[in-house]
């Protein structure tokens, strides 16, 4: 709201756009691991049981746990906005 007031006072024109799936475009340039637990771990294991079953384990409460390494950013990650901005800037400059 504050920037809206400043832009109005200065007579600036502002355009806003939404880029669908912005967080899925950039690659991650570091190791980011994510823990999936419960139903989502079970669903992934059921997709390819031969591949994933050896990586799914159960905690002391019987809940399924699966650790994964991300190759792309994920919505909600702190790095997602920064990595997208870097990708967008690089693309526009090129």
Q: Where are the domains of the chain?
A: 18-93
Q: Report the pLDDT value the prediction gives residue 28, as an integer from 0 to 100.
A: 78
Among residues of the chain, what percentage have pLDDT more than 90?
41
Residue with the bigger pLDDT between 76 and 35: it is 35
Burial (0-12, 13-18, 19+ Cβ within 10 Å), 30: exposed
DSSP 81: H
Grade residue 83 by pLDDT with cuts at 50, 70 and 90: confident
């Amino acid at each position: 709201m504050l920037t809206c007031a400043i832009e109005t006072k200065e007579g600036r024109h502002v355009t806003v756009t939404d880029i669908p799936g912005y967080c899925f475009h950039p690659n991650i340039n570091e190791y980011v691991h994510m823990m999936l637990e419960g139903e989502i771990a079970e669903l992934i294991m059921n997709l390819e049981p031969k591949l994933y079953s050896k990586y799914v384990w159960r905690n002391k409460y019987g809940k399924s746990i699966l650790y994964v390494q991300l190759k792309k950013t994920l919505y909600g990650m702190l790095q997602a906005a920064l990595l997208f901005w870097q990708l967008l800037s690089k693309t526009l400059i090129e």
